[in-house]
Amino acid sequence: MSTPNVFFKSNSYLALNLEPRSEVPSAYGRHAPAIKVARQTGARGVAICTQLHQQLQQRDAKDPLPWTLFDGELSKKILQEHHLPEYLEKFIPDEAIGELQGTINELLGRHPSLWTLFKDTKETIARLASTGHCILVGHGSNHIAGHLHNVLSVRLIGSTAVRTRHVMDSLQINRAQAQALIKREDHARRSYVKQHFHCDIDDPASYDLVLRTDHWSDAGAAACIVKALEQLNPT
Q: What domains are defined for the chain? A: 3-230 (3.40.50.300)
Which of 81-95, 171-185, 199-213 shows the lowest per-residue confidence on average (mean pLDDT)? 81-95
Structure confidence by residue, pLDDT tens digits, 45-72: 999 999 999 999 999 999 988 998 987 6
pLDDT at 146: 72
Q: Are 28 and 120 in contact (CB under 8 A)?
A: no
Highest mean pLDDT among 58-67, 103-112, 146-155, 161-170: 161-170
* pTM summary value: 0.76
Give the residue among 227, 218, 211 at the shortest CA–CA distance from 155: 211
- Specify the range with the lowest mean pLDDT, choosing from 58-72, 154-168, 202-216: 58-72
| 67 CA to centre of own chain | 14
The rounded distance, in Å, linking the Cα atoms of 87 and 85 is 6
The SS3 assignment for 188 reads helix
Lowest mean pLDDT among 34-43, 163-172, 196-205, 214-223: 196-205
Residue 108 DSSP one-character state: T
Three-state DSSP class for residue 65? coil
pLDDT at 157: 98
pLDDT beyond 60 at 113: no
Please say if the pLDDT value at position 139 is more than 80: no
Q: What is the pLDDT of residues 22-40, one digit of tens each?
A: 334 444 445 689 999 999 9
Q: What mean pLDDT value characterizes the chain? A: 78
Of 124, 72, 188, the C-alpha closest to 116 is 124
- DSSP conformation class of 155: E
CA neighbor of 39 nearest in space, from 140, 113, 128: 140
List helix spans (H) across the chain: 3-17, 45-59, 74-81, 99-107, 114-131, 160-171, 175-197, 218-230
Task: Please give the pLDDT value at position 37.
Answer: 94
The rounded distance, in Å, linking the Cα atoms of 16 and 14 is: 5
Check whether the bond before 112 is cis (ω within 30° of 0). yes
CA-based nearest residue to 47, from 11, 72, 82: 72
| DSSP-derived secondary structure letter, 1 | -
Spatial contact of 26 and 133, defined as CB atoms under 8 Å apart: yes
